[in-house]
Structure 1
Amino acid sequence: MTPAPADCSARRSSSTTAPPAAWGAARSPAAARGGVLSSSYAGVGPVAHPRSDASLVDDVQHVLTHSPEVGAGDVEVRVEAGEVTLSGSVEDHAARRRIEDLVVAVSGVRVVSNHLRVRRPES
């Protein structure tokens, strides 16, 4: 067995040291197989590995808490078998729709039941 050279980087080719963004589409595994590059499967996990309800509650609450577009302080989130139920109240109809859109985008959410109510303006 021969000892490894002191400078192992000398054996690396320039393609392995370049950042992934510099590799380009021609070096991606999909392109090498002749496939079309698409992000349509991003966030889709294996069929046999469903997300737990507790994990979905955490992710939905995280998305709603960190979204600058909506105030979700009065929103309750429940999950059962991947079905999210939203209840509580929001400022307006746009917030109600935006919250539902944010929740639908969470990976693992199957159905959203939006029971949010729009608060009446105080006179």
Structure 2
Amino acid sequence: MEDNPRFRDAKLGIIVSSVRALNVFLARSSKTGRLPDYIIVEGPLAGGHLGFGMDWEQYKLETIVDEGSAAVQVATRFTNSEECGLPQMVKQEYLVRKKKDVIVDTISPTGYPKAGLKIQPGD
């Protein structure tokens, strides 16, 4: 990237769900001479592809980032904002659904569980 004028100043980041995953990435990327400019740590309730096994409920974000962090990334919390590009119908679903409507399953191309909203009959 540093040799390409178009990408020379691009920031490099990684999303991880554990210190173990971060260490694997850092060990491999250190050989390239370029370490990430930022690291995003996602917990088991991040939504989408979780990076955890079916034992995801055993993990707590507070424990994962206990070793220190400089900022927080929040995404799902802002799905109902005016700036979010989701259709209004989808935004409404976020408002009316309850915790019981969140499901975690293993239907993911990554092989990891993913979280999402359960589709109700008649939806």
Structure showing greater radius of gyration is 1
TM-score when scaled to structure 2?
0.26
Larger proportion of helix? 1
Structure number with greater CO (CA < 8 Å, separation at least 6) is: 2
